[in-house]
Amino acid sequence: MKSKIAIITAPFYTHITDGLFSGALRVLEENKLTHERFDVAGALEIPLACQLLAQSGKYQAIVALGSVIRGETPHFDHVCEQSSRGLLDVSLKYNIPIGNGIITIENEAQALARSGDNKKNKGAEAVQAVIGLLELKEKL
H-state helical runs in the chain: 14-30, 46-56, 75-94, 108-115, 122-139
- Residue 86 makes CB contacts below 8 A (sequence gap 6+) with 44, 46, 47, 48, 50
**Closest alpha carbon to 39 in 16, 60, 65:** 65
Residues annotated catalytic, as ranges: 75
